[in-house]
C-alpha cells in the first residue's frame, strides 16, 4: 500500500501543476463570486417637476431613505434623465405629491426590486393619508410608531439557544461550494490512475510483485483521498486564518466533514471508473458530469430556490449536497455532532455502496 502511495506522490512532486492549478482555481473562483455576491447600496436619483418641487423632494427623500439596500438622492431632472438614457444610471424616479413615475432604460431585475420598494412606501403613505382624513399624516405616523414601540406584546425572533438568528451568509456557501467542487476534480483525476495503470500494464506487473491486490487498491485510493483532503484543508485554512472569512468556532468539525466528503468522493470516482475502460474516456466523461452536481445541489443558489423533487433526489445521490448542509449548519448555526450525524451517515453510506460496486466492476471488466 505505502509503496503505491509513495509512487503516486513522487509523480505529483515531479509534476504538481494540476493540483496547484485546481487549488488556485478554487481560491480565485471564491474571490470572484463572493465579491460579486456582496450586497452594495444602490444609489437611486429622484426628482420632481411640481411647482413646490423642493417640498415634495424633501418629503419623499426622508421616507424613501429607510432602507439598507437603496440610497435615494435628489438630482436635477435633466441630469437624471440623461444618466438613464446614457446608461450611467439604471433607473430614476419622478415624484409628485402623492404619486411617482419610474424612468428606466430597461426592465431589469434590479429595477423591479426598486419599484417594489418604492410602491410599498407610497402605498403606506396613501393608507396613512386616507386614515387621517385631515392631512396630518406625520402626526398619525408618530402615534403609530409610539404605539408599536410601547405595545403590551412584542414579537421577537430568537434561535433555539436563545440568541439572535444569524443571517444566511451566501459568501460562506460559495466558499465551501467552490472548494469542494474543485476537490472533486482532483480526486477524480487521481482515482483515474487505477485505469491508467491497468491500460499501461503497470497493474499486471505489480500483481507479480509481493504487493497484494488489496494493497494496490488501498494505495491508489488512499492517495486520492489524501490529495483531495489536503487541497480542501489548504483552502479552508487560508480563508479562515489568513483572509478573515468567519467559519465559526468549530473549525475541527469542518475539517472532519471535509475528510468524510473526500473519502465519499473517492468512492464515487471509483464507481465511475468501473464503467469506463480507458483513462482518456474518463478524462472526457468525468469533467462533463461533475459540473452538473453543484447545480442540482443548489450550491450556487440561496436555500429554497431549487425545489424540483427530481433534481433534489439526484443531488442526494452525491455527497456534495450532504457535505454542504453539514458545513453550513456548523458555520452559521453552530451545530454539534448530533445535528450533522445524518449528513455524515449518508456520505459514508454513499461511499460504502459506490466503493463496493466500483471495485467489483473494475475487477470484472474484460480486456
Write out pLDDT tens, residues 243-282: 888 898 899 999 999 999 999 999 999 999 989 888 899 9
With 80 as the cut, is the pLDDT of residue 294 above it? yes
Query: Is residue 327 pLDDT above 90, yes or no?
Result: yes
Residue 147 C-alpha from the chain's centroid? 41
Please report the pLDDT score of residue 355 as a whole number: 93
In the predicted model, is pLDDT for residue 162 greater than 60? no
For CA atoms 233, 234, 237, 240, give the dihedral sign: negative
**What is the edge-to-edge ordering of all strands in the sheet holding 100-104?**
70-74, 42-47, 91-95, 100-104
Q: Is the pLDDT of residue 232 over 90?
A: yes
pLDDT averaged over the chain?
Answer: 84
The pLDDT confidence band at residue 304, using thresholds 50, 70 and 90, is confident
Chain segment 50-74, per-residue pLDDT in tens: 888 888 888 889 888 877 678 899 9
Percent of the chain whose predicted confidence (pLDDT) is above 90:
37
Please state the pTM of the whole predicted model. 0.72
Counting Cα atoms < 13 Å in the Cβ hemisphere of 93 gives 27
Confidence of residue 169 (pLDDT cuts 50, 70, 90): confident
Distance CA 361, CA 274 (A): 5
DSSP state of 165: P
- DSSP 8-class letter at 91: E
Of 141 and 296, the one with more pLDDT: 296
What are the Cα distances from residue 289, in Å, to 132, 153, 253, 295, 352?
63, 54, 29, 11, 21
- The C-alpha cell 476534480 sits at 185
> Which domains does the chain possess?
2-36+168-364 (no CATH), 42-149 (3.40.190.10)
Q: Would you state the pLDDT for residue 265? A: 96
Amino acid at each position: 500500500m505505502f509503496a503505491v502511495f509513495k509512487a503516486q506522490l513522487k509523480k505529483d512532486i515531479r509534476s504538481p501543476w494540476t493540483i496547484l492549478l485546481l487549488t488556485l482555481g478554487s481560491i480565485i473562483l471564491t474571490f470572484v463570486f463572493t465579491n460579486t455576491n456582496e450586497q452594495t447600496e444602490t444609489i437611486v436619483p429622484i426628482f420632481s417637476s411640481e411647482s413646490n418641487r423642493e417640498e415634495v423632494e424633501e418629503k419623499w427623500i426622508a421616507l424613501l431613505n429607510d432602507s439598507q439596500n437603496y440610497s435615494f438622492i435628489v438630482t436635477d431632472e435633466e441630469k437624471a434623465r440623461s444618466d438613464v438614457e446614457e446608461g450611467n444610471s439604471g433607473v430614476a424616479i419622478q415624484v409628485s405629491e402623492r404619486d411617482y413615475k419610474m424612468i428606466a432604460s430597461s426592465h431589469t431585475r434590479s429595477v423591479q426590486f426598486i419599484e417594489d420598494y418604492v410602491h410599498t412606501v407610497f402605498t403606506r403613505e396613501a393608507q396613512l393619508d386616507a386614515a387621517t382624513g385631515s392631512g396630518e399624516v406625520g402626526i398619525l405616523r408618530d402615534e403609530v410608531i409610539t404605539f408599536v414601540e410601547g405595545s403590551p406584546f412584542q414579537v421577537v425572533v430568537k434561535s433555539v439557544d436563545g440568541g439572535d438568528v444569524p443571517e444566511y451568509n451566501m459568501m460562506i456557501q460559495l466558499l465551501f461550494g467552490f472548494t469542494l467542487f474543485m476537490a472533486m476534480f482532483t480526486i477524480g483525476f487521481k482515482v483515474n490512475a487505477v485505469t491508467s495503470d491497468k491500460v499501461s500494464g503497470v497493474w499486471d506487473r505489480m500483481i507479480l510483485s509481493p504487493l497484494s491486490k488489496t494493497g494496490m487498491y488501498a494505495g491508489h485510493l488512499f492517495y486520492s483521498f489524501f490529495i483531495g483532503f489536503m487541497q480542501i484543508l489548504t483552502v479552508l485554512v487560508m480563508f479562515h486564518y489568513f483572509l478573515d472569512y468567519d467559519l465559526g468556532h468549530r473549525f475541527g468539525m469542518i475539517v472532519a466533514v471535509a475528510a468524510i466528503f473526500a473519502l465519499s468522493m473517492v468512492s464515487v470516482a471509483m464507481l465511475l471508473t468501473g464503467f469506463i475502460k480507458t483513462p482518456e474516456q474518463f478524462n472526457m466523461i468525468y469533467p462533463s458530469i461533475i459540473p452538473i452536481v453543484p447545480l442540482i445541489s443548489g450550491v450556487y443558489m440561496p436555500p429554497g430556490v431549487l425545489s424540483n423533487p427530481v433534481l433534489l433526489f439526484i443531488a442526494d445521490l452525491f455527497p456534495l449536497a450532504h457535505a454542504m448542509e453539514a458545513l453550513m449548519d456548523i458555520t452559521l448555526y453552530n451545530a454539534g455532532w448530533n445535528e450533522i450525524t445524518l449528513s455524515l451517515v449518508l456520505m459514508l453510506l454513499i461511499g460504502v455502496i459506490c466503493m463496493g460496486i466500483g471495485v467489483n466492476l473494475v475487477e470484472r471488466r474484460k480486456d
